[in-house]
Every structure is written in C-alpha cells, then in structure tokens.
Amino acid sequence: MKRTVLVTGASSGIGRATTLKLLNEGYCVYASARNLTRLKSLAANGANILELDVTQDQSMQRGVDRIMGECGRLDILINNAGYGSYGALEDVPLDEARHQFEVNLFGLGRLTQLVLPRMRKQSFGKIVNITSVGGKIYEPLGSWYHATKFAVEGLSDCLRLELKPFGIDVIIIEPGPIKTEWGTIAVEKLMKASGHTAYAAAAQAGAKLLALANDETVASKPAAVADVIAKAIKVRRPSARYPIGTGARFLMTVRKFASDGMMDAFMQFMLRRASARQP
C-alpha cells in the first residue's frame, strides 16, 4: 500500500529535501507551505502541493480535509515548519515570542490533533517532529527559540506514550547545524532585536555562531536529515529520537554528562571561538 505523507515547511531546507526523498521512495507526498509559488518545483517532481499556514486553524483543517478527501487516509505527518527567533529576552517583543510559539509549538500540536482521529481509526500512523539539538542544549540570546524546542521535546515524549496503544509512533528528529535558510533568518532576527541594545556585543558573537549553520565546512546538508527521516518511518519499532548532523551526537553527549556549570562554560567557549572567526 502506498503511504500518504504530509510535510509542513516544505518550501526549502529539510522539508524540501524530505519531500524529494520520499517521492523518490514511492510515497504519496503532500508538500505544504504558506507560499504555493515556492512549492512549484516540488509539484514538477510529483508532489501534491498544499497551501497551509500552521498559525491558522482553518488553513490546517482545510489541508487535512483535502488529503482525506483525495486519499481517504493520512499515514505520516512530518512536523517540520518552524524558524528561529533570537534576541535577548529583554529585547524581544512578546508578540514575536508568541508568534515563535505559534509556529514552532502550537501549530505542530494543533495539526497533530487534526490527524490523530484518522490515524487511530486506521490503527497506524507516524508523527515525526523536527526539533533540534536546541531542544536539549541552550545558548544566550536564544531563550524563546530554545523554549519552543524544549517544549516540543516534552510534548513528543508524552505523546509517544499516549499513542503507543493505538499503533501510532512518535519520532523526534534532532538536527545539529544544517545548511538551510534557518541560519540567515535567525541572524536577522537576532540583530534586529539586540544588535543595537545593551546586548549588542553578545549579539555580534551570537550572530557568528549562528552563521555556522550556513558554513559548508561545518553544517550538514538537508539531505542528511531527509535520509534519517526516510529510514525512521520504515522501521517497525523506531527509536524515540534521532540526533543528526555535524556535532549533534557530541552535543547531546556533552549535555547528558556535563553539569550546568560545565555546560555554561562550554557554551561561553563556543561563543568566544565563533567570535574570533573571520567574517
């Protein structure tokens, strides 16, 4: 049977790479984003494109209803939509903080709510939540972003236990630095919020650290994440979480065994090292 997959945030980066990977493996893929124009190349490759805004309930309901109307089932949901809002907590307006949660957490949760009745009825489903190593570690000037990713980790762990009796798996994907638009957007947000405040010096250092996500000598390619997702959804008993990308497993290991004081010192060292890099 041909499995049906919904991928959010499919217009670029991990979402786009995952869509192409799953199309190549024979899945029926619905690639979604707010802007249909950016999905046209995926349509040319065989994807069904879907206008979907994870901050708008009606948009999500329409999307799920369309898939059910056309396919009669939805087997796999890949919650990939998200972005990084950086800046000192003192500087970031609460409206922006709320929007960060709407995109990274509440949209993910609501879309999952909408697909679960269908998955329970068919006694099969895979919920794949793209978090980040940022759901386990932390860095200065990233409080709202990291708060959302820590929250998605906790949500996913609870959900995994809730859904096990229904034959539905919950899989957490934890990318390290990946070369996508994410790093550029995060730097723009950071400098807009704190580039000219009391935190300007820290923002300059933080921007260099975030820029490593676009450094080909450091960051992994989105296809590496897509490969892991493709393998995880095939496994009968998938692992709870999959760290992937440059340094991801190392950072998870450091966080597991390091005290908070050691972790603070490690992050400060990373910031100094990034700050010393030439532009």
* pLDDT for 273: 79
Taking the C-alpha atoms of residue 146 and residue 9, their distance in angstroms, rounded to an integer, is 19
Kindly provide the b/e burial profile for residues 205-228, where b requires at least 16 CB atoms within 10 angstroms of the residue's own CB: bbbbbbbbbbeeeebbbbebbbeb
The answer to whether 152 touches 108, Cβ cutoff 8 Å, is yes
Written as six digits, the tokens of 17 are: 């790479």
* pLDDT for 35: 93
Taking the C-alpha atoms of residue 244 and residue 227, their distance in angstroms, rounded to an integer, is 10
Taking alpha carbons only, the member of 37, 33, 79, 41 closest to residue 59 is 33
* pLDDT for 185: 92
Indicate which residues carry an active-site annotation. Answer: 145
* pLDDT for 186: 93
Taking the C-alpha atoms of residue 234 and residue 230, their distance in angstroms, rounded to an integer, is 7
Superfamily of domain 4-276: NAD(P)-binding Rossmann-like Domain (3.40.50.720)
* pLDDT for 279: 58
* pLDDT for 1: 77
Burial of 137 (0-12, 13-18, 19+ CB in 10 A): buried
* pLDDT for 278: 59
Q: How many CB atoms lie within 10 A of CB 124?
A: 17
Residue 178 is given by DSSP the state B
Written as six digits, the tokens of 47 are: 């994807």
Q: What is the pLDDT of residues 104-140, one digit of tens each?
A: 999 999 999 999 999 999 999 999 999 999 999 999 9
Low-confidence ranges of the chain (pLDDT < 70): 277-279
